[in-house]
Amino acid sequence: MTPLLGRSLILLALLSATTGALVGFATGARPTVLSSTWTRRLAFAFAGFMTAANVLMLEALLSHDFSVSYVAQVGSRAVPTWVSFVSLWSSLEGSILFWGLVLSVYIAAAAWFNRDSHPEYMPYATAVWLACGAFFSFLLAGPAQPFQTMSPVPSDGPGPNPLLQNHVLMAIHPPFLYSGYVGMTIPFGLACAALLTGHLGHGFIRPLRTWLMVPWIFLTCAIVLGGWWAYEVLGWGGYWAWDPVENASLLPWLTATAAVHSALLMERKGILKGWTVTLVVASFLLTILGTFMTRSGVFNSVHSFTQSPIGPTILGFLTAALLFSVALLSLRVDTLTSEGRLEGVPSRDGLFLVNNLLFVLLTFTVLVGTCFPLVVEALRGVRMSVGRPYFDAMAVPIGAALLFLMGVGPALPWGRATPEQTRRALVPPLAGAAVVAAIGFAAGARNPWTLVTLAFGGYTAWVTLAEVWLPLRQRMRSHGEGPLQALAESSLGRGRRRFGAYVVHAGATVVIVAIAVSSTMGTSKEMKLRTGESAAIRGYTLTFLRTEQRDEPHRQSMVALVSVTRDGKDIGTMAPRMNQYDRQREPVGTPDVKTFLFEDLYLSILNLDADGGTLSLHALVNPMVAWIWAATALMALGGIVAVVPRRERGVAPARAAAPAAGLGAAVGRQ
């Protein structure tokens, strides 16, 4: 019964998406109020059916309804409830179903928020969204059916991949990643609508930017959560390996970040319209490429889904989307005329352009490195991989340059700057550069790139803090506000977009510096310890106490208990473990990480002999890794501040509220 109902919902979603896309394109070409309304209604219908299908699947997973093929494939009575829940996206068919859910929520939200605005663009945009929705519904109806009927009904299932059960981050990372990936469909639809209608008015830049920022925030978090998961689960002590699937999530982030910046220039000066639209389109295409990378089995990665029959179908969609985009751009991009002109390089405008070129260069670098093994194998039949050295050699200088630009750009004024202005803007932050580089040198940084990054980081931090501080000081002087109130006003009031952007910059600065420090200034040591023996690593003394066996319904774990002291002071016991899952031959290790303010102590079991008496341990001291996680949260927060719309001035409730707020503030001061 459930499988039949599920299949029906998928077919209804497919039907409403297809019809909606057709009606939408027709409406875009020849707009009427009635057909616009129907386009929107069909979008809501698609969202409703897709959501219902997901709810049905979740219900089947939680109630262990093994008559549904997907549940039979990933479900298990032995796993905890949260694992049953996240099984929704733990395997191929479910992940596509979940993709459909996220897409339908995005479409419904974007259609709802713009129901009364942009009538000339919305039918085309909705049509493009629904065309994507139709494709994913088609996948669910054909090549990747989650709702097949099992006969006979099995009594139990194998449970999801053990690596996915190993850490709770696996419950958080995929939804973020999907919200980032799938969300790029919305700005893509808006960009296509601009191209199809042949204009991109000033009023339409705001929704484009907002709907670009939302998935950007999710994708930022997702990339770092993925790194965090790798760090906490995989046990090799790092968080980024330039793995194809990691690259797949980075690529659209790079182009989207470039687009967020060029959109700003477009908004201010009416220039770079075609370029911004191209970046938005590219971000979407790269998410589809990423989907192909993870699901085709063509790329070798720890993250990829196993061999699947949907690779060719996704590649067909990618090909169609690429050709459609190239055709649309080359036919229509000239209709988006510029309203201004670009200033030369020694201005904020010019540096925006340099920023964009660097982001695009980095995108190409990563794309080429990711695809190069495929070229070699296709031409010469030799299997090879492009490793860290290539990516690091390219990404480190570009990353450092972007960090520097993040300082120089905002320091310079808009438009043409006089040499005097330039000097006054660019010289003082050198103090920040000197201070941070000196601190790094004192802490032992000797790698030239690390020192360069620290100096650039100090420079950018100076500029960023100054850009946040100056308006605050002005407010405090002119309005007589305290620092906290001024901060609240600028983060929620008129300057919030600007304020949010600088918070993102502050977070990004810390992330880049922390990556440079953690990847060059760590210590790593392999040690072999018998019970009771100790070894030292950078001020820490590790003593292997004993081994404990812990049994859980779905796994058995061997836990090595290691007591840790620093400078003779006891700082607790750490417990790296080896987990043996049912039906999995190789045990899966889980490292243990202890985080201090400036560094992590990271212990991972290499080998634990059968009687548990001898432990081979990989111990690492990783500086500043936790700063990456924290600073990413800051970036996300800044993004949210920048994107949440300010109350419109002139709208009645806001006007009514203003005197009251003023009164409240006055009362508060007394």
Partner 1 sequence: MNRRVLGAGLAVSLPLIVILFANLGRDPHSVESPLIGRPAPPFSLEPVDPGPAVSLESLKGRPVVLNFWATWCIPCVEEHEALASAARRLGDGARFYGIVYEDEAAPVRRFLEERGQAYPSLLDADGKAAIAYGVYGVPETYFIDAQGTIVAKFVGPLDPPTLDAYLALARGEKR
- Give whichever of 248 and 574 is closer to partner 1, judged by the CB atom: 248
- Tell me, what amino acid is at 335? T
- Give whichever of 326 and 633 is closer to partner 1, judged by the CB atom: 326
CB of 195 to partner 1, least distance (A): 11
CB of 375 to partner 1, least distance (A): 6
CB of 16 to partner 1, least distance (A): 30
- Give whichever of 62 and 150 is closer to partner 1, judged by the CB atom: 150
CB of 285 to partner 1, least distance (A): 8
For residues 184 and 182, give the distance between their C-alpha atoms in angstroms, rounded to a whole number: 5
CB of 590 to partner 1, least distance (A): 21
Distance of CA 240 to the CA centre of its chain: 14
Element (H, E) at 551: strand 540-552
**Structure-token match 């492009």, residue found:** 386
CB of 633 to partner 1, least distance (A): 35
User: b/e per residue, 37-49, with b = 16+ CB within 10 A?
Assistant: ebbbebbbbbbbb
- Tell me, what amino acid is at 652? A
- Give whichever of 377 and 526 is closer to partner 1, judged by the CB atom: 377
- Give whichever of 375 and 663 is closer to partner 1, judged by the CB atom: 375
For residues 148 and 256, give the distance between their C-alpha atoms in angstroms, rounded to a whole number: 37
Residues near partner 1 (CB under 8 A):
73, 158, 274, 278, 289, 292, 296-300, 306-307, 311-312, 315, 318-319, 322-323, 325-327, 329-331, 333-334, 371, 374-375, 377-378, 583, 585
CB of 8 to partner 1, least distance (A): 26
Q: How many CB atoms lie within 10 A of CB 311?
A: 17
Q: Are 173 and 225 in contact (CB under 8 A)?
A: yes
User: Which residues neighbour 611 within 8 Å (Cβ) at sequence distance 6 or greater?
Assistant: none
User: Which residues neighbour 187 within 8 Å (Cβ) at sequence distance 6 or greater?
Assistant: 208, 211, 212, 215, 259, 280, 283, 284
CB of 274 to partner 1, least distance (A): 8
For residues 433 and 175, give the distance between their C-alpha atoms in angstroms, rounded to a whole number: 38
Backbone angles phi, psi at 198, to 5 degrees: 85, 10
For residues 278 and 191, give the distance between their C-alpha atoms in angstroms, rounded to a whole number: 8
Strand partners, 599: 623
**Chain length of the chain:** 670
For residues 560 and 362, give the distance between their C-alpha atoms in angstroms, rounded to a whole number: 42
CA distances from 330 to 271, 275, 277, 334, 364 (A): 18, 12, 12, 8, 20
**639 closest CA partner among 100, 253, 193:** 253
CB of 614 to partner 1, least distance (A): 21
- Give whichever of 99 and 305 is closer to partner 1, judged by the CB atom: 305
Distance of CA 154 to the CA centre of its chain: 38
CB of 311 to partner 1, least distance (A): 6
CB of 394 to partner 1, least distance (A): 18
- Give whichever of 147 and 540 is closer to partner 1, judged by the CB atom: 147
CB of 343 to partner 1, least distance (A): 23
- Give whichever of 335 and 422 is closer to partner 1, judged by the CB atom: 335
**55 closest CA partner among 98, 105, 110:** 98
Q: Are 218 and 176 in contact (CB under 8 A)?
A: yes
Q: Using alpha carbons only, what angle is made at residue 352 by residues 350 and 357, rounded to the nearest 5 degrees?
A: 100
Element (H, E) at 528: strand 523-530
CB of 73 to partner 1, least distance (A): 7
**Structure-token match 């209804």, residue found:** 12
The three-class DSSP label of residue 512 is helix
Return the CA Rg of the chain: 27
CB of 644 to partner 1, least distance (A): 35
Q: Are 588 and 234 in contact (CB under 8 A)?
A: no
CB of 148 to partner 1, least distance (A): 13
- Give whichever of 341 and 585 is closer to partner 1, judged by the CB atom: 585
- Give whichever of 150 and 171 is closer to partner 1, judged by the CB atom: 150
- Give whichever of 329 and 574 is closer to partner 1, judged by the CB atom: 329
Element (H, E) at 338: none
Q: 171: exposed, middle or buried (C-beta count within 10 Å: 0-12, 13-18, 19+)?
A: middle
CB of 301 to partner 1, least distance (A): 8
Give the side-chain half-sphere CA count within 13 A for 139: 29
- Give whichever of 138 and 299 is closer to partner 1, judged by the CB atom: 299
- Give whichever of 124 and 275 is closer to partner 1, judged by the CB atom: 275
CB of 497 to partner 1, least distance (A): 31
- Give whichever of 299 and 352 is closer to partner 1, judged by the CB atom: 299
- Give whichever of 297 and 613 is closer to partner 1, judged by the CB atom: 297
Q: Are 506 and 634 in contact (CB under 8 A)?
A: yes
- Give whichever of 191 and 513 is closer to partner 1, judged by the CB atom: 191
For residues 417 and 345, give the distance between their C-alpha atoms in angstroms, rounded to a whole number: 10
- Give whichever of 128 and 222 is closer to partner 1, judged by the CB atom: 128
- Following DSSP, what letter does each residue of 27-71 receive, concatenated? HHHS--HHHHHHHHHHHHHHHHHHHHHHHHHHHHHHTT-TTBHHH
For residues 172 and 47, give the distance between their C-alpha atoms in angstroms, rounded to a whole number: 23
